[in-house]
Structure 1
Amino acid sequence: MSRKTNIIMPTDEEDARINQGIALDSDNPELTETDFRTMKPAAEVSPALAKARRVRGPQKSLTKRSVSLRLDQDVLEKFKSTGPGWQTRINDALRRACG
């Protein structure tokens, strides 16, 4: 099932203005082919930063578990049609059903 996106492509005029702004930004120039060829992996440039791993802090409430669940297509479509947060709404409906 494909995900629908809300990407709005810029018009040719908007694209030209965006590219002009990029060209005028001396603090953040657009990368060239040469820039890409000379790049080095982060681990090579800064090993300490490359090894740093973010760790999730302690849970404030019970941790949810990931499960595989088979639902009727119409039920799934109904929840998904209500937009982002549909999985939370399914969880809430199941919680209400459990009493």
Structure 2
Amino acid sequence: MTSRRHTSAVDRAEAMFKKVTAKPAPEAPEVKRNVIPVGKESVTIRIDNDVLAHFQDDGPGWQDRINAALRTAAGLD
């Protein structure tokens, strides 16, 4: 009686080769979400022209400087 299993050296080698070279199952793609930065909110505020000019005179970063001044005035620093 012959075995139904393939036990020849060639069959075993092919089975081992398939295990090593088989591609893993693709993972589910990561869902990218638009994240709003925590702690900052876009607002519209009316500021006197000379106050705005004062903060803009030092160049880029004037919004951060206004924020820092407001934090200090509010006693949050």
Q: Whose helix fraction is larger, Structure 1's or Structure 2's?
A: 1
Structure number with larger C-alpha Rg: 2
